[in-house]
Structure 1
């Protein structure tokens, strides 16, 4: 059966209230929150902090993969490279500046929460009633009030780019996502939140990872895989349409009404992240960057790439400038009056990034230079690209768990 979780999306800078009862079956209403741009001008500190957060998340995934599988991830950097990367980190002041979030219910009886849906991680956690560090204003999960909540006795800790952590104890409980119910699902009861999860930076109550078990801190099935394994949906795929209106997350298949033409699939090369091969980057009809490994990540706002490849891309774009002194290392600007159309080739087909999504905003009020949504970063191990929302807003993306592949299609 194909079960739908639709997203009604609104751009909001307000703190989201806990979701009310929804009369529509299998529907979760989401909001999008952004502080990366205000009045058409980028928030440089927020952009830099977002890149640091994403890099830290990828490194957590490397650590979890090795612990869960007994072997290093094939694309992880060497120990010496990682030690070098760990120095000189910029403290996060705007930890998750742009994200997609919506409702989920946990426990018996069910209690409602909001979560960030993140295909770049694999664990689900909420703030505990005992949390008194950065949890103020969030709806807290009272495990004692749920007859199905059971402690595993296992503690967890997730380190973030500023040196702070989210930590607590892993429980199992009933989880209802869009009318689909998973039982004995692993959920982290967080007794401490990192600074980036404080309410003014992170409106949702928690985070729901949609990657694979191999990069889970808990070492357990993520929520969607639990739904599949328990037979709650026979189609082992979910789809995202991250558009400014009518956006949705569709569980148990894809929403064909959102797709124009056929879907192009490309295999997951190493199960853990949603990791695929990107064949090249095209500008003005010419491939300016060659193939490389890429992660498809709804939890990343930008397109982040290897610094050499990103520099090569901007070198091909007339009028582009290195913005390391105005925005930060790895950032570039392009003329606001001629935003380029850049395409990414996946599975033999090129998918364009529209100028509207490529353009993050002006460097400063009145500037003729706008910040590009493709950013360079050295801390990705052997990964060449992270395809975040700047790319995903232009396509319908299918995450096929059962066949370990990712599909891309033009939006209807």
Structure 2
């Protein structure tokens, strides 16, 4: 890991006393956002609450003709159309990233405009790459991400494409990942 490039990072905001951390993402041309989204390692799809992202206002949005219906562990459900559009996080940009727009529903995440899945494609309702994998496939970053979650306000971060050596002590150990369940 020492040879990897400096990771890209975004600041994360502690929501609801460490229930989840949200961070900024933007979509489309012209850019819409940034939207604060829950970066979730237990789901794979990006879904925005109705009234946030407007695909009709983006010259690069494409309706895939697909609809989604998804349920989360907390009982929250959402459904709506799936689009692809330009995606921006930190100083990174990719084309054709999948995102869903929830029809008439909020995902029940106070402080967040939606959820952005970072788990494996195998559990994607869209059957399309989560944003992290799109970043890797479009050669924007190496296939590493890391969280630094702290109780101190303003100190939590998501690192894309590497790790922040100041966030830990000692050596990192690689362990096999069991992707059978689809999440980390």
TM-score of the pair, normalised by structure 2: 0.88
Structure 1 runs not aligned, ≥5 long: 6-27, 36-96, 130-139, 275-295, 297-412
2:30 to 77, 99, 109: 109
Q: Is the 8 A contact 2:13 2:156 kept in 1?
A: no
Higher relative contact order (CA 8 A, sep 6+): 2
Partner of 2:173: 264
Instruction: State the Cα deviation string for residues 297-350 of structure 1 (Å, max 9, x = none).
Output: xxxxxxxxxxxxxxxxxxxxxxxxxxxxxxxxxxxxxxxxxxxxxxxxxxxxxx
Partner of 2:40: 118
2:124 to 175, 192, 216: 216
SS in 1 for 2:162: coil
1:105-254 mapped onto 2 (5 Å cutoff): 105-112=26-33, 113-129=35-51, 140-160=52-72, 165-193=77-105, 197-198=107-108, 201-233=109-141, 235-245=142-152, 246-254=155-163
Instruction: State the Cα deviation string for residues 204-251 of structure 1 (Å, max 9, x = none).
Output: 001001011001111110001000000111x21011111123322111
Larger Rg: 1
Q: Is the 8 A contact 2:24 2:37 kept in 1?
A: yes
Tell me the distance in 1 between the aligned counterparts of 2:130 and 2:180.
Answer: 13
User: CA separation of 1:247/1:148 partners in 2, compared to 1, >3 Å: closer, same or farther?
Assistant: same
User: CA separation of 1:148/1:265 partners in 2, compared to 1, >3 Å: closer, same or farther?
Assistant: same
Instruction: State the Cα deviation string for residues 358-387 of structure 1 (Å, max 9, x = none).
Output: xxxxxxxxxxxxxxxxxxxxxxxxxxxxxx
Structure 2 runs not aligned, ≥5 long: none
1:317-356 mapped onto 2 (5 Å cutoff): none
Tell me the distance in 1 between the aligned counterparts of 2:111 and 2:63.
Answer: 26
Q: Is the 8 A contact 1:169 1:190 kept in 2?
A: yes
Partner of 1:30: 12
Tell me the distance in 2 between the aligned counterparts of 1:4 and 1:161.
Answer: 30
Report how many aligned residue pairs link the two structures: 177
User: CA separation of 1:144/1:162 partners in 2, compared to 1, >3 Å: closer, same or farther?
Assistant: same
User: CA separation of 1:257/1:164 partners in 2, compared to 1, >3 Å: closer, same or farther?
Assistant: closer
Tell me the distance in 2 between the aligned counterparts of 1:253 and 1:162.
Answer: 31
Instruction: State the Cα deviation string for residues 370-406 of structure 1 (Å, max 9, x = none).
Output: xxxxxxxxxxxxxxxxxxxxxxxxxxxxxxxxxxxxx
SS in 2 for 1:191: coil
Partner of 1:100: 21
Deviation at 1:164, TM superposition (A): 5.3
Deviation at 1:193, TM superposition (A): 2.0
User: CA separation of 1:182/1:127 partners in 2, compared to 1, >3 Å: closer, same or farther?
Assistant: same
Instruction: State the Cα deviation string for residues 141-189 of structure 1 (Å, max 9, x = none).
Output: 1111100000001000112457652010000000101111121000001
Tell me the distance in 1 between the aligned counterparts of 2:48 and 2:88.
Answer: 14
Tell me the distance in 2 between the aligned counterparts of 1:227 and 1:261.
Answer: 28
TM-score of the pair, normalised by structure 1: 0.41
Q: Which has the higher helix share?
A: 1
